[in-house]
Amino acid sequence: MKWDGLFASRMGHMKRSTIREILKLTAQPDVISFAGGLPAPELFPTERVEEATSTALAERGQEALQYSTTEGMPELRELIAQRMSDGDLQIGPDNIVLVSGSQQALDLVCRVFLDEDDAMVIENPSYLGMLMAARPYGVRFVPIRTDQDGVVVDDLEPLLEENPKMVYVVPDFQNPQGTTLSLERRRQLVEATSGRPLVIVEDNPYGELRYSGEAHPPLLHLEARHRGSTAVDGNVVYISTFSKTLAPGMRLGWIVAHEEIIDKIVQAKQSADLHTSTFAQFVTYETARDSFLDEHVARLREVYRQRRDIMLEAMGEYFPPEVRWQKPDGGLFLMVYMPEHIDSHELLKKALERKVAFVPGTDFHLDGSGRNTFRLNFSNARPEMITEGIRRLGELLQEEVRRE
C-alpha cells in the first residue's frame, strides 16, 4: 500500500518541528540544554495543583469530569478578563475563548482567517509555532524586518500592498530574539493598520515575565485607545497562555477578541476538539484564583531574572568579543549573533559533543538568513548549569571565531 498518494496536499507544507527533533537530540541527561523553551520544572506549583484538584473534585467533581461548553469555564474566563482589564479597556468573558494551549490559538486563528495563498506579515525571525500553524493553510508569509525595538514598522507600508489578512507579532520578549516592541512602534503599528481589512494577531505568552524596564500596554489596549473605545471591538486578536506562568502541561491558553471573531473561533474549535479539557480548566481555575497566580508569577520573575543575569554575566566572561547579543527585559530567550562565517547548525554538532545545546537560528527565519545566529533559553537550567554550559559554549566559540 502506497500511502503517499492518499495524503492531503497540505501535508506537503508540513514538516516535523525541527526544534522538537533537536530537543530529542538534546534530551540526553548529561547535556546542558539551552535549546527548549521549557519553564523551570522545580518551580511548578505541584502542591497547589494537588490541593486545587482535590477542591475541584470535592466541590464540583461531576462538572469537572463532564463535557462542557466550547467557550470554556465562565469563572476562568472572568478571572482572565479581570486580570487583563484596566481603566482604559474593559474585557468581558464573552471576549474570551479558552483553548488547548496557545498553539491551538494560532491554529484556530489561521483556520478562521486564512484561505490558500492569503498573506501574513510576520516578523523575521519569528516564532516557529506560528510558522507550523500557518503553513498547512497555504499561507503566503510576508516577512518584515526587526531590530532591537522589534518590528520595523517603517517597513510596513509597502508590505500592506500585498493585502495581508493578518499581521502577526510577539511584542513582549519575542521568541526567538528576546526583543520588545517599543511603545512608539506599538502606536505606529496600530495607526498604520487602523481601518484596514486585516487583523493584528498579538501573541503574548511572556508579557507577565518582565525582569527589567517598563511594561508597555498590549496592542489590544492601544488599538482601542486609538479609536477612543473602552471595549474589545477592534482588529486585534490577542493570544496568551498559562504555559509560562503556571504549567505548560495543562495546555491551557486563551484568545481575546471582538465577539464576532470569538463566535467564529468557537465554531472552528467545536469542529477541532469540541472543547478544552474541563478537568484542566477546573484545576487551573482553582490553582490560579485568590491571587495565587500573581504571587506565583512574582516568584517566577525573581528566579528567571536571576538566571537571565547569570547567563548574561557568563556570556560576558566566556564569549569572544566577536559575538554579540542583546539583554532581554523578560521572557525566556535571547539570541546570539556570531560572525558571518560561523554556521550555527555546524556549531550545534560540535556543541553536542561538548554536552551543551541551543537552537540554530535559521529555522526561525523566513528568508534563509540567520545562519550565524542561535537562540538560548535561560529559564530551564539551574544557575550552576547555566554558568557551566555557557563556559563550554564560550570555549567552542573562541575556537570557531579564530577559525576564519
The answer to whether 54 contacts its own copies (rule: CB under 8 A) is: yes
Residue 127 or 318: which CB sits closer to its own copies? 127
The answer to whether 272 contacts its own copies (rule: CB under 8 A) is: yes
Residue 2 or 402: which CB sits closer to its own copies? 2
**What is the rounded distance in angstroms from the CA atom of residue 81 to the CA atom of residue 74?**
10
User: What are the two backbone dihedrals, phi and then psi, of residue 231, each rounded to the nearest 5 degrees?
Assistant: -115, 160
Binding mask 356-395 for its own copies (x = CB under 8 A): ----------------------------------------
Query: Residue 318 CB, nearest distance to its own copies (Å)?
Result: 29
Please, what is the end-to-end C-alpha distance for the chain in angstroms? 51
**What is the rounded distance in angstroms from the CA atom of residue 153 to the CA atom of residue 266?**
32
The answer to whether 249 contacts its own copies (rule: CB under 8 A) is: yes
Q: Which range, of 65-73, 79-87, 178-186, 202-210, touches its own copies by CB under 8 A?
A: 65-73
* DSSP H helices in 85-122: 101-113
**What is the rounded distance in angstroms from the CA atom of residue 334 to the CA atom of residue 176?**
7
CA-CA-CA-CA torsion for 103, 108, 109, 113, nearest 10 degrees? Answer: 150
Binding mask 206-245 for its own copies (x = CB under 8 A): ---------------------------xxx-------x--
Residue 21 or 147: which CB sits closer to its own copies? 21
**What is the rounded distance in angstroms from the CA atom of residue 302 to the CA atom of residue 191?**
35
Nearest by Cα to 370 from 133, 35, 153, 123: 123
Q: Please give the angle made by the CA atoms of 189, 194 and 195, to the nearest 5 degrees.
A: 160
Report 68-127 residues binding its own copies (CB under 8 A). Answer: 68-70, 100-101, 103-104, 107, 111-115, 118
Measure Cα distances from 57 to 52, 62, 248, 280 in Å. 8, 8, 21, 12
Query: Residue 125 CB, nearest distance to its own copies (Å)?
Result: 18
Query: Residue 96 CB, nearest distance to its own copies (Å)?
Result: 17
Report 124-143 residues binding its own copies (CB under 8 A). Answer: 129, 132-133, 135-137
Residue 10 or 350: which CB sits closer to its own copies? 10
Report 174-213 residues binding its own copies (CB under 8 A). Answer: 195, 197-199
Nearest by Cα to 150 from 189, 106, 206, 208: 189
The answer to whether 38 contacts its own copies (rule: CB under 8 A) is: yes
Instruction: Report which residue type is found at 173.
Output: F
Residue with cell 500500500: 1
The answer to whether 261 contacts its own copies (rule: CB under 8 A) is: yes
Q: Which range, of 4-12, 80-88, 313-321, 390-398, touches its own copies by CB under 8 A?
A: 4-12
- Number of chain positions touching its own copies (CB under 8 A): 92
Query: Residue 224 CB, nearest distance to its own copies (Å)?
Result: 12
Contact 378, 53 (CB under 8 A): no
